[in-house]
């Protein structure tokens, strides 16, 4: 960033984020005609994501100095995954069919094929850039982006080591990753807010999805009650108690795999965050078959959704719109790459008449990973969050292999 941020105290920044979320929800429930028209176009979750980005864009906050995203992704995200999965109708969710997997792997193929095409276009426009060799070669930097867009940060780091990407090249493509993926997240949230319109255009069969939503709403209505202090404490006990178990498991499993399987970094098993997400998902699935599921009636889904909104706000802090001023050609390449991914995902979704949820979550589980896929799922309906979480974990598993293949194809296109 150009200068020092105005605010560095996370307590102050968190207070501002809370006020922003309060403003969003207060206006979204307003009866004023302006706000009614506004939120028909821009969903509350999208605004909860965009407003915090202004703090970074105008140098009010430096996200690299703030620990809020770390706090939200390590504490609130696993708690939200646990709570929202624990109260979900998993048997019904599993009946949604194979379209979620089809769209996920379509998104993966879109990244693998889109990278070589994007670097070929760059070679036509700026051959001198593509001709750079050594650790700062463009294809090396783009290979780390492929790892991030199929899996996550752990896969991105693994590919940096595999291809020996230099620090300058890595930094450039991290910036491209943050900005371009952030814009894509905003678009997926828009799709969620306009899912009925998008589903009509896709000619999608949404009967199975609507059945899951209706069953979740019926279950909540059947067990609904005014939450007591005991209910709220039990919800927090389940969410954060299980989150503690996730961190404990990560502290044990990460060094175990580093010591006994030192060459398995490409599977993301050397990443504590990977294990936190995996264990949280497993615990949530297990709890959904216990009486814990009845906490849905006391507001467990609402508490989990609250955590998701806070997470989305902290993710929004990571985006600096003005970053486009720096090496704009690389941002253009990232946008072309993502557009190719989008064309393939949209084309296949229309071909197989997949609902907009499968299209959006299949793409976001690739591009955004564990932090944003559940948030996009929540924007469609909280009962669908387990699908987002499971696909994000799948992204971690295939991310390094997919990124490696993409890197090799881009290296060939580069002629190196």
pLDDT (tens, 9 = 90+) of the chain, 416 residues, equals: 456 888 999 999 999 999 999 999 899 888 888 988 888 777 787 788 789 988 988 889 988 889 998 898 889 988 987 887 787 666 666 666 788 889 999 999 999 999 999 999 999 988 888 888 888 888 988 998 998 898 776 677 677 777 888 877 777 887 788 788 888 988 998 898 888 899 999 888 887 777 767 766 676 666 667 888 999 999 999 999 999 999 999 999 999 999 998 877 656 678 788 788 788 878 988 888 888 888 877 888 789 888 878 987 887 887 777 766 767 888 899 999 999 999 999 999 999 988 899 899 889 988 877 767 888 888 888 778 778 877 887 787 788 788 889 988 998 998 87
Residue 305 CA to its chain's centroid (Å): 15
The residue assigned the tokens 């760059």 is 122
Q: How many CB atoms lie within 10 A of CB 383?
A: 28
Give the span between the Cα atoms of 93 and 75, in whole angstroms: 25
The residue assigned the tokens 């150009």 is 2
- DSSP code of residue 182: H
Reading the block at residue 348, the tokens are 């296949």
Task: Give the chain's end-to-end CA distance (angstroms, integer).
Answer: 34
Give the span between the Cα atoms of 334 and 103, in whole angstroms: 21
134 dihedral zone (left: phi>0; alpha: psi -120 to 50; beta):
left
Scanning 224-267, the segments in alpha helix (DSSP H) are 229-260
Give the span between the Cα atoms of 391 and 41, in whole angstroms: 28
Residues 6+ apart with CB under 8 A from 145: 115, 156, 173, 176, 177, 334, 337
Task: Decide: helix, strand or coil at residue 331.
Answer: helix
Give the span between the Cα atoms of 176 and 170, in whole angstroms: 10
């Amino acid at each position: 960033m150009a200068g020092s941020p105005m605010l560095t105290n996370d307590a102050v920044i968190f207070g501002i984020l809370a006020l922003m979320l309060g403003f969003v929800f207060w206006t979204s429930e307003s009866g004023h005609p302006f706000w009614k028209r506004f939120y028909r176009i821009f969903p509350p979750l999208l605004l909860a994501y965009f407003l915090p980005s202004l703090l970074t864009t105008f140098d009010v906050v430096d996200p690299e100095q703030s620990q809020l995203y770390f706090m939200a992704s390590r504490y609130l995200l696993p708690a939200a995954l646990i709570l929202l999965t624990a109260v979900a109708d998993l048997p019904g969710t599993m009946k949604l069919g194979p379209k979620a997997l089809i769209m996920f792997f379509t998104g993966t193929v879109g990244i693998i094929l889109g990278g070589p095409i994007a670097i070929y276009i760059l070679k036509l426009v700026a051959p001198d850039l593509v001709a750079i060799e050594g650790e700062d070669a463009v294809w090396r930097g783009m290979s780390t982006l492929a790892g991030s867009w199929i899996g996550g940060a752990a896969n991105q780091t693994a590919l940096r080591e595999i291809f020996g990407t230099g620090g300058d090249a890595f930094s450039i493509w991290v910036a491209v990753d943050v900005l371009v993926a952030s814009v894509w997240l905003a678009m997926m949230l828009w799709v969620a807010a306009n899912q009925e319109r998008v589903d009509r255009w896709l000619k999608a069969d949404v009967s199975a999805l609507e059945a899951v939503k209706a069953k979740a709403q019926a279950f909540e209505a059947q067990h609904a009650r005014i939450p007591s202090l005991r209910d709220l404490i039990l919800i927090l006990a389940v969410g954060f108690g299980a989150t503690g178990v996730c961190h404990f498991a990560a502290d044990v499993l990460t060094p175990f795999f580093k010591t006994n399987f030192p060459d398995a970094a490409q599977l993301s098993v050397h990443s504590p965050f990977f294990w936190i997400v995996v264990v949280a998902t497993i615990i949530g699935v297990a709890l959904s078959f216990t009486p814990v599921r009845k906490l849905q009636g006391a507001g467990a889904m609402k508490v989990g959704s609250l955590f998701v909104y806070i997470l989305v706000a902290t993710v929004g802090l990571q985006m600096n719109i003005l970053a486009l001023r720096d090496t704009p050609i690389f941002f253009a390449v990232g946008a072309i790459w993502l557009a190719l991914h989008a064309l393939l995902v949209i084309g296949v979704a229309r071909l197989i008449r997949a609902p907009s949820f499968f299209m959006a979550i299949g793409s976001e589980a690739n591009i955004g990973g564990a932090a944003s896929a559940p948030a996009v799922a929540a924007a469609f309906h909280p009962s669908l969050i387990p699908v987002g979480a499971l696909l994000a974990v799948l992204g971690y598993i295939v991310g390094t292999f997919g990124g490696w293949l993409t890197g090799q194809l881009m290296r060939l296109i580069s002629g190196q």
